[in-house]
């Protein structure tokens, strides 16, 4: 009985978490390779970025398909950004991988903004893919952007791959789920006693 109940709880929790539906996903692999390119679904302003990788085009981290060099080849790192329609009160999770520049030891930093949330990442030269997360809960529904800005402009920037955004289940939803499970447990126990 206890095992069954545990299974039921696990099932309900899994279905609750499955509601974390991805609304955006990009591994950049569908793009053509090139210097000073704009990846599909993104805009680049105030400078440039490069699309590099497999096969054999500045493929600095083999096995990653295509990815972004956040400082293009025009002496000015561009602001790479994309925007989404997001709902008030929903929490969204942005996930992405950044890596060092793999070419020179100049200090690098990338500022990431997601709605009003932001972080700055600084990775040394040969640091492989490193996962980052940013949570944002808009107070009003509307269009919000996710953007990446490499500092400096020496044509060698940090690398970006595997960007995704998903709506995460509200804590309230999980709390209600757990309260519901408590009720089921109570009823089951009463039935058992009767
Ligand atoms: Ca990729
Ligand atoms: Ca470059
Ligand atoms: Ca640089």
Q: Where are the domains of the chain?
A: 1-19+178-194, 20-168
Nearest ligand to the C-alpha of residue 51? 2
CA 141 distance to own-chain centroid: 20
pLDDT higher than threshold 80 for residue 171: no
Q: How confident is the model at residue 181 (pLDDT cuts 50, 70, 90)?
A: confident
Dist. CA 177 → ligand 2 center (Å): 49
Residue 186's pLDDT band (cuts 50, 70, 90): low
Strand partners, 48: 77
| Tokens, residue 43 | 């805009």
pLDDT cut 70: percent of the chain above it: 78
Question: Domain 20-168 maps to which CATH number in 2.60.120.260, 3.40.640.10, 2.40.50.140, 2.30.30.90?
Answer: 2.60.120.260
Query: What's the gap in Å between 108 CA and the centre of ligand 3?
Result: 5
Q: What is the CA radius of gyration of the chain?
A: 22
Are 127 and 60 within 8 A, CB to CB?
no
CA 65 / ligand 1 centre spacing (Å): 4
pLDDT of residue 159: 98
pLDDT at 17: 52
Ligand that lies nearest to the alpha carbon of residue 101, given by its number in the listed order: 3
Instruction: List, for residues 112-144, the tens digit of each pLDDT value.
Output: 999 999 999 999 999 999 999 999 999 999 999
Closest ligand (CA of 150): 3
Q: Are 54 and 65 spatial neighbours (Cβ–Cβ below 8 Å)?
A: yes
- Separation of CA 57 and ligand 1 centre (Å): 13
Residue 18: which residues within 8 A CB-CB, separation 6 or more?
none
d(CA 8, CA 184): 10
């Amino acid at each position: 009985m206890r095992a069954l109940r545990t299974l039921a709880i696990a099932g309900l929790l899994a279905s609750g978490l499955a509601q974390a539906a991805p609304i955006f996903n990009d591994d950049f692999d569908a793009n053509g390779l090139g210097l000073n390119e704009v990846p599909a679904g993104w805009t680049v302003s105030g400078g440039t970025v490069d699309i590099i990788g497999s096969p054999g085009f500045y493929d600095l981290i083999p096995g990653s398909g295509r990815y972004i060099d956040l400082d293009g080849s025009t002496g000015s790192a561009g602001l790479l950004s994309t925007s989404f329609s997001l709902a008030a009160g929903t929490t969204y999770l942005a996930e992405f991988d950044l890596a060092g520049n793999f070419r020179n030891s100049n200090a690098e930093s990338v500022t990431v903004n997601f709605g009003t949330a932001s972080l700055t990442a600084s990775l040394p030269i040969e640091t492989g893919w490193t996962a980052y997360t940013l949570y944002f809960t808009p107070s009003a529904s509307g269009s919000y952007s996710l953007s990446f800005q490499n500092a400096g402009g020496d044509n060698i920037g940090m690398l970006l791959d595997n960007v995704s955004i998903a709506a995460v289940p509200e804590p309230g939803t999980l709390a209600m789920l757990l309260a519901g499970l408590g009720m089921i447990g109570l009823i089951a126990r009463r039935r058992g006693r009767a």
